[in-house]
């Protein structure tokens, strides 16, 4: 227990005596200090003493598109931890091919009396989808927050990465390495994040080069196979570098290059998007745009709890700056075709 007290005290920035007082439910500890100690318990993975555990505030739904892309489990983990620390029980609902739709999952969660719902990369990001489903959710009195994909027609808080800035970071990095034929591989054009990435990509390319960047853009699916197909088409157009809209697509782009007998980064540079877990350990380690998952997930939880608490945020979008993480999949251009 001594080692545990020391660990908790170090994490919370208080004395071991203070930790002991909190764990034993003794008076004389400021509320903020008590919360710091309890948070330290959570971070370090220790269970709170039964008498200090919060009574459950209820269920909160979390709807994500899939679990195969590692960025979605990463979002789920951050959001679930944030909800648990605030006394809520997260209920993870995942869409699967041939399984439940977003509407069916939403109905299931509402039927179970959830206090609110967080949607990650849902139909709100699809410009062709009917946003009336979210207005109906409003009518049922269920608070919700939407992550990735802004819509003017939905009255709710949104949390997004700055997709335009992400493309500026990627293209500027490749230009600095001497690349001119830079391709962009991304998902279907109907999605808001895709449209924003295209805007950022074409604007930055125009700042550096003449000509129409449209021929350097290839749409596909957000999968390894989709990235392989898109990158194959771009390499066929003479691209020496490919920016991908997800890390999974980037792994597909590396495969496409190798199938053509090209090395990465010797012949072709590849940049991903997300900085998914374990992506630093690929061959080569992937240069990518890090989506600020922790900050975004925590912001989504805060916004939802404000909605649940009766002090809703305005119809606004909280935009988080991404970060370029340079690893081994980008290098100087050998030659420009």
- The verdict on residue 284 lying in a domain is yes
CATH code of the domain in which 144 resides: 3.40.50.2300
| Same domain for 301 and 236 | no
Predicted local distance difference test score (pLDDT) of residue 147: 96
- The verdict on residue 223 lying in a domain is yes
- The verdict on residue 327 lying in a domain is no
Q: What is the mean pLDDT of residues 260-271?
A: 96
Predicted local distance difference test score (pLDDT) of residue 269: 98
| Same domain for 262 and 214 | yes
Q: What is the mean pLDDT of residues 126-139?
A: 90
Predicted local distance difference test score (pLDDT) of residue 337: 43
- The verdict on residue 170 lying in a domain is yes
| Same domain for 283 and 317 | no
Quote the CA–CA distance of 182 and 170 in Å, as a whole number.
Answer: 10
Q: 90: domain range? A: 58-161+292-321
Query: What are the pLDDT digits (tens) for 148-202?
Result: 989 888 889 999 999 999 999 999 999 999 999 999 999 999 999 999 999 999 9
| Same domain for 112 and 80 | yes
| Same domain for 169 and 315 | no
Give yes or no for a contact between 119 and 79, defined as CB atoms under 8 angstroms apart.
no
| Same domain for 296 and 150 | yes
| Same domain for 178 and 157 | no
Nearest residue to 272 (alpha-carbon basis) of 286, 262, 254: 286
| Same domain for 121 and 46 | no
Res. 119: pLDDT tops 90: yes
Query: What are the pLDDT digits (tens) for 22-40?
Result: 888 777 788 788 888 888 8
Count other C-beta atoms under 10 Å from residue 128's C-beta.
8
| Same domain for 105 and 245 | no
User: Is the peptide bond preceding residue 147 cis, with omega within 30 degrees of 0?
Assistant: no
- The verdict on residue 296 lying in a domain is yes
Mean of pLDDT over the chain = 90
Predicted local distance difference test score (pLDDT) of residue 335: 62
Per DSSP, the chain holds a count of helices (H) and strands (E) of 11, 12
Using the 3D structure, point to which of 52, 68, 83 is the last residue of a domain: 52
Res. 90: pLDDT tops 60: yes
| Same domain for 157 and 168 | no
Q: What is the mean pLDDT of residues 45-52?
A: 72
Predicted local distance difference test score (pLDDT) of residue 43: 83
CATH code of the domain in which 45 resides: 1.10.260.40
Number of domains in the chain: 3
Reported pTM: 0.81
- The verdict on residue 332 lying in a domain is no
| Same domain for 299 and 266 | no
- The verdict on residue 334 lying in a domain is no
Query: What are the pLDDT digits (tens) for 207-255?
Result: 999 888 889 999 999 999 999 999 999 999 999 999 999 999 999 999 9
Q: In 3-state terms, what secondary structure has residue 3?
A: helix
| Same domain for 179 and 193 | yes
- The verdict on residue 310 lying in a domain is yes
pLDDT band at 262 (very low <50, low <70, confident <90, very high): very high
């Amino acid at each position: 227990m001594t080692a545990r007290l020391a660990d908790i005290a170090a994490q919370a920035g208080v004395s071991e005596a203070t930790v002991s007082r909190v764990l034993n439910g003794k008076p004389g500890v400021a509320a903020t200090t008590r919360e710091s100690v309890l948070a330290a318990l959570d971070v370090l993975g220790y269970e709170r003493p039964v008498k200090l555990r919060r009574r459950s505030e209820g269920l909160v739904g979390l709807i994500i598109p899939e679990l195969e892309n590692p960025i979605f489990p990463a979002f789920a983990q951050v959001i679930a931890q944030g909800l648990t620390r605030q006394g809520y029980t997260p209920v993870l609902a995942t869409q699967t091919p041939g399984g439940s739709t977003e509407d069916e999952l939403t109905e299931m969660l509402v039927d179970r009396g959830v206090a609110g719902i967080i949607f990650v990369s849902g139909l709100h990001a699809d410009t062709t989808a009917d946003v009336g489903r979210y207005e109906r959710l409003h009518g049922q009195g269920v608070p919700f927050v939407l992550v990735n994909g802004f819509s003017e027609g939905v009255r709710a808080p949104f949390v997004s990465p700055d997709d335009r800035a992400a493309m500026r970071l990627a293209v500027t990095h490749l230009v600095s390495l001497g690349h001119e034929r830079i391709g962009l591989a991304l998902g279907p054009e109907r999605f808001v994040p895709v449209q924003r990435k295209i805007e950022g990509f074409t604007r930055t390319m125009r700042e550096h080069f003449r000509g129409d960047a449209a021929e350097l853009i290839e749409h596909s699916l957000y999968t390894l196979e989709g990235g392989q197909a898109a990158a194959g088409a771009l390499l066929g157009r003479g691209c020496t570098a490919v920016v991908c809209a997800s890390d999974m697509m980037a792994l597909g782009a590396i495969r496409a290059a190798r199938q053509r007998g090209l090395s990465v980064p010797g012949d072709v540079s590849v940049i991903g998007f997300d900085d998914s877990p374990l992506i630093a350990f690929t061959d080569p380690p992937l240069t990518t745009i890090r989506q600020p998952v922790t900050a975004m997930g925590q912001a989504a939880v805060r916004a939802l709890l404000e909605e649940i608490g009766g002090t809703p945020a305005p119809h606004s979008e909280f935009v988080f700056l991404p970060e370029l993480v340079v690893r081994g999949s980008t290098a100087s251009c050998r030659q420009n075709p």
